[in-house]
Each structure stands twice: as structure tokens, then as C-alpha cells.
Amino acid sequence: MAQARDLGWGAALTLVLASAGCAPAETQPQEEPTLATRGSSTQVPLSDEITIWVTKEIADSLVAVSEQFELDTGISVNLVIKDFGSMRQELAASSLSESAPDLFVGSHDWTGPLAQSGAINPLEVTSAFDSFRANALSAFAFENSLFGIPFAVENIGLVCNSQLVPNQPETWQELEAVGFEIAMSRGAGDPYHLYFLQSAFGAEIFERNADGSYLPELAMAGPEGAAFASWLSANRDLLDFLDYSAVVDAMTSQQLACWITGPWAWQALSESIGEENLEVYDLPSPGEFKPTQFLDALGFFMSSSAKDPYYVNRFLREYLASEAAQIDIYETTGRIPAHQEVIEFAESNKKVMSFSRAGINATPRPNIPEMDYVWSPLGNAQGAILNGVANPEQVWLEMISAIQAQISVGG
């Protein structure tokens, strides 16, 4: 494994900033969040408008920051509402047209494919980004450059009924004793939800650079991956093929104490057993390593079609990255914030605080194009092992060979 595995996210972020020629500034006392006028600039704008593609849920949250930017610079902000599911396709189609955006909202796993295709530009990294959670920021790193700033994150945790499990299960054996479920389709694996178990054996999916960005080299091809396959085979009876609604029902009837799931299940569980009875604990490890779940992030990218990169970068770092703008996004969307001060602002929101704490060391889901070659083979291998295949290590090796062949062809 690459040495980067042992590098903490705080150190990784320091390296991201250092590689861009900007060391993190010391933390200063925070004032009341405001969108007051920023420092003036004598640079003449190349355009009188910045166009941002956003989803409907984000649009309303950017009205105040957009109006302030126009007051400060004379440049208006055009918020164009787009469907999230089709945005990438529309972006490719618009790249050479006047309709191309300067900025757009997207998922962190778009980073690698968009950077490779030349659709996005790296950002100017400054101390303005110091207040973001380090792993959320690293989610937008690719080939030692930063391509996006986050505003929301998502990760799983160990969600338990505190009436049945009043304290953190410290060991895997304690978790087995209280009982847990992971919602999975019958006969299939689940590379997303099962990754924390895989990581507990040191089998990360890809090698990483020192800044946390991913390399197209498999890190799960060695004995660590085989050890996970062997453990999964020996412990497959712990993982039932129960669908989402069945797990909700089991939690509601108190036949089940814990569910390894994410914030998307919070409302259903709050309505059935009461928010006051929900606790999100750390994920215990069945292996030698501290497990880490995947982190997903949403953020803003700068299009390579940006008409005025200077002012687009300025809008990103001085306005969209500000505490006030990030609070507006949080209050509008209700998503888990990526900004540390906004997390503190949301201290009365139990869901936000619980999953923020649970995911503080979560690993960004790989954002490189080669990840597309992993999902299906890994899920199929997990499914075969969970269904009792005779030789799990051989299944794992065959999966590795299939993925490596695809990476070679794709590369």
C-alpha cells in the first residue's frame, strides 16, 4: 500500500494547499457571518455576468450571495436551474456554445472524468478553504489539484435504538451481540455499504497520492483483499438479504437494535421510534484496521468554459466558500454541511451532528474514471461470496484480474 494510507486528513489537506503554494493560515476568531462587501479589485471584468447551473433546491440558497456579489463587483449572477441527473450530459453538449455555465453544482465523483475530459478547471487554493472539513475538500482533489469546493457531505454510520443499545459497541463482538443489519438486495453484494468492512482489513480500493487523490492502481489486490474475502465468507450469516422497508419495520418493532445506514433513513426512524431514541455510533472493526466508510460530497465546479476565470474564482473563494453562504445552503437544503463553522451553527440538529461526527474520518468515494470498472465486478464477487461460493479467495482474484484488464483497456 502507498504511504498515503497512514496520512491523516488534516495532513493531507496541508499537502494539498502546500502543493498549490499556499500553506493553511492559523485559525482566527470568527466574527458574525455576513455577506458584507469584500476587498475591491481594479481588474476589469471580461463579462458582466456569471452563469451557474444549479438544482432547484440550491437555487434559493444562492440568491443573497449572488446579490451581494453584484453589489460588490457589478457582475450579475444568473442562476439556471437544471436537472441533476442530466447535468453532465448537458454540460458536454454546451461546452462550445454560449449557453455553457461558468460554474455548476455536481457530485465529487464527477471530478476525475470531468478533469480528464478538460471540462473543468482547477481552482486557486487559498486560506478561504481552510474552514472546510478536510476529507470533504479532498473529495474534489484529482492529480494533485483541487477542482471543486464542497457544501454538503453524506456517509453511513451505526444507527442504533438507544433504548436497546445505550452505549457505543466498542468491539465487533459487542456489535454482533446486540444485532445489526445492512439493507441489501437479495443475492447481491453492496460495495458501498460493505466498504467499511473491507477497509477494516486494510483493503482500500485504489492507491492514493499524499494529498488523498486517487491513483488508477488497485490497492485491494494483495493479501488484505483476500483476508476480507475469507472473512466475508466465514461471516456471511451475519449479513441478511433484507430490503430497506424490512429493516425499517424491524427497527420499528424493536426486533432490531442497529442499522448501518445513512442520513436518508433518519426521518423514517425518527417517526417510528423517536429521534430522542436514535444514536449514531462509530463502526467497530472486525479486522486489524480502524474501518472507514465512504464519504460523498456535493460542491461547485468551475467550467473550463468560464468567461472570466478571475472573477469566477473570486466568487468561489470569497462568496460561495463563506460561512454565511454555506449557512444559507444548509438552511435551505437540510443537508449535512461540509463547512466546520456551519456544523457548529447546526449544533441543535441531532441528525447533522451525529452523522458529521460519524464521518469525520470517512474516505472520499474514489472520484477517478477507473472506479466505473470496480462497482459491478466487486458487487458480483461480494454477492457470490455471500451466497456461499466454495473458494472466496479465488473469486476475489478473478475479480481483481477482470478489473485490472478493464483498467488496462480503458487507459
State how far the Cα of 66 lies from the Cα of 75, in Å rounded to an integer.
Answer: 9
For residue 187, is it within any domain?
A: yes
Residues 113 and 218 reside in one and the same domain? no
Q: Cell 474516505: give the residue.
A: 363
What CATH code is carried by the domain that includes residue 62? Answer: 3.40.190.10
For residue 340, is it within any domain?
A: yes
**Full domain range(s) for residue 141:** 15-20+46-154+296-364
For residue 133, is it within any domain?
A: yes
Residues pairing with 141 in the sheet: 146
Residues 238 and 148 reside in one and the same domain? no
Percent of all residues in the chain with a pLDDT value above 90, rounded to a whole number: 80
Please give the helix or strand (H or E) that residue 389 lies within, else none: none
Residues 276 and 183 reside in one and the same domain? yes
- Burial of 240 per CB tally in 10 Å (0-12, 13-18, 19+): middle
Residues 201 and 70 reside in one and the same domain? no
Residues 330 and 272 reside in one and the same domain? no
Residues 390 and 263 reside in one and the same domain? yes
The total number of structural domains in the chain stands at 2
For residue 4, is it within any domain?
A: no
State how far the Cα of 347 lies from the Cα of 36, in Å rounded to an integer.
Answer: 25
pTM of the predicted protein model: 0.87
pLDDT band at 381 (very low <50, low <70, confident <90, very high): very high
Residues 182 and 169 reside in one and the same domain? yes
- Phi, psi dihedral angles at 158 (to 5 degrees): -90, 100
Residue 23 pLDDT more than 50? no
Residues 66 and 169 reside in one and the same domain? no
pLDDT band at 186 (very low <50, low <70, confident <90, very high): confident
Residues 265 and 195 reside in one and the same domain? yes
Q: Which pLDDT tens digit goes with each residue over 123-169?
A: 988 888 999 999 999 999 999 899 999 999 999 999 999 999 999 99
pLDDT band at 93 (very low <50, low <70, confident <90, very high): confident
Planar angle of CA 206, 209, 214, nearest 5 degrees: 40
- Burial of 171 per CB tally in 10 Å (0-12, 13-18, 19+): exposed
For residue 124, is it within any domain?
A: yes
Residues 122 and 181 reside in one and the same domain? no
For residue 286, is it within any domain?
A: yes
pLDDT of residue 327: 98
For residue 389, is it within any domain?
A: yes
pLDDT of residue 43: 84
- What's the one-letter identity of residue 209? N
Q: Which pLDDT tens digit goes with each residue over 201-245?
A: 999 999 998 888 899 999 999 999 999 999 999 999 999 888 999
Residues 121 and 216 reside in one and the same domain? no
Q: Cell 486557486: give the residue.
A: 124
Residues 307 and 232 reside in one and the same domain? no
CA 411 to chain centre: 25
For residue 355, is it within any domain?
A: yes
State how far the Cα of 374 lies from the Cα of 396, in Å rounded to an integer.
Answer: 12
